[in-house]
């Protein structure tokens, strides 16, 4: 039951799925929420894959419409919570100020020009990748799309626990304080289950899973170093920005796979 409550906490915080139940926010349940980050991502990715399948197989609408539906779902389903972090982190990063000033800029509720420009670029690039993936879609495409939020939420959990907090207040710090040394032990088990599912799905799905996992690790190694250098540690906004950056990076990997490995 605690695991289920942890998953529901994730759906309440990180999606717009209505969960009309008051969830306990103690350390035990927040720790379970961290453990179920990948499961929340799997639900999210499954919804994207279902939307794509429904538009391509059950409606007369064009490929462009199907791609737009998946793109829009990514905004609506998350409620824009990570996009807000992307804009705040972009404003702070492109200010080219010291770490303390960057943290101050992220705390400002106003959005600056860099935040607006960066989100336009992010969403535009993501739409390009989604459209061409849908245009070249194969049976393994649905599986790979499902993996994108799964892996991004897994990286979010690893970043949350392994990167020091830049400040002691906020949502990121609240989750971080609930973590223990064994919190992430469940993540390799999740990866093994997905690897088995990939093998069962076929060679293309297996290749895609391996490529996406390797590049997820590389993304984590890059971000874990740069976050300290740029901001002095992790915050909720930086965590949200990392999720958005990770997802568009994985959309790019899936896009490249369709061109060079799944043709």
For 104-139, the pLDDT digits (tens) are 998 888 888 999 999 999 999 999 999 999 999 999
Is residue 226 predicted with pLDDT exceeding 80? yes
Residue 159: the pLDDT is 94
- What are the boundaries of each domain within the chain? 45-174+185-260
Is residue 59 predicted with pLDDT exceeding 90? yes
Is residue 212 predicted with pLDDT exceeding 70? yes
Is residue 26 predicted with pLDDT exceeding 90? no
User: Helices in the chain by DSSP H: which ranges?
Assistant: 2-14, 27-35, 37-58, 63-78, 81-93, 99-107, 113-135, 139-162, 171-178, 187-201, 203-231, 236-260
Beta-carbon contacts of 139 under 8 Å, excluding residues fewer than 6 positions away, are: 201, 202, 204
Report the predicted TM-score, pTM, of the whole model to 2 decimal places.
0.96
Per-residue pLDDT, averaged over 203-220, amounts to: 97
Residue 217: the pLDDT is 97
Residue 82: the pLDDT is 92
Per-residue pLDDT, averaged over 18-45, amounts to: 92
Residue 172: the pLDDT is 67
Q: Cβ(91)–Cβ(106) under 8 Å?
A: yes
Beta-carbon contacts of 59 under 8 Å, excluding residues fewer than 6 positions away, are: 65
- Read off the tokens for 151: 């892996």
Residue 38: the pLDDT is 97
User: Helices in 163-202 by DSSP H: which ranges?
Assistant: 171-178, 187-201
What average pLDDT does the chain have? 93
């Amino acid at each position: 039951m605690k695991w289920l409550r942890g998953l529901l906490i994730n759906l309440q915080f990180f999606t717009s799925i209505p969960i009309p139940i008051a969830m306990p926010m103690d350390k035990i349940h927040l720790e379970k929420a961290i453990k179920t980050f990948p499961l929340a991502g799997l639900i999210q990715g499954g919804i994207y894959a279902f939307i794509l399948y429904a538009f391509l197989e059950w409606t007369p609408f064009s490929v462009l419409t199907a791609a737009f539906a998946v793109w829009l779902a990514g905004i609506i389903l998350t409620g824009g919570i990570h996009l807000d972090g992307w804009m705040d982190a972009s404003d702070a990063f492109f200010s080219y100020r010291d770490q303390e000033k960057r943290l101050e800029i992220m705390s400002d509720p106003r959005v600056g020009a860099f935040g607006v420009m960066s989100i336009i670029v992010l969403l535009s690039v993501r739409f390009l990748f989604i459209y061409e993936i849908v245009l070249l879609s194969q049976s393994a495409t649905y599986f790979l799309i499902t993996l994108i939020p799964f892996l991004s939420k897994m990286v979010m959990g690893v970043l949350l626990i392994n990167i020091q907090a830049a400040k002691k207040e906020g949502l990121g710090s609240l989750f971080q304080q609930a973590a223990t040394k064994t919190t992430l032990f469940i993540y390799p088990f999740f990866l093994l289950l997905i690897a088995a599912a990939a093998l069962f799905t076929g060679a293309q799905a297996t290749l895609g899973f391996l490529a996406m996992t390797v590049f997820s690790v590389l993304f984590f190694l890059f971000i874990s170093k740069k976050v300290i250098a740029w901001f002095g540690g992790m915050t909720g906004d930086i965590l949200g920005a990392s999720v958005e950056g990770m997802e568009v990076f994985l959309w790019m990997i899936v896009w490249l796979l369709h061109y060079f490995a799944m043709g």
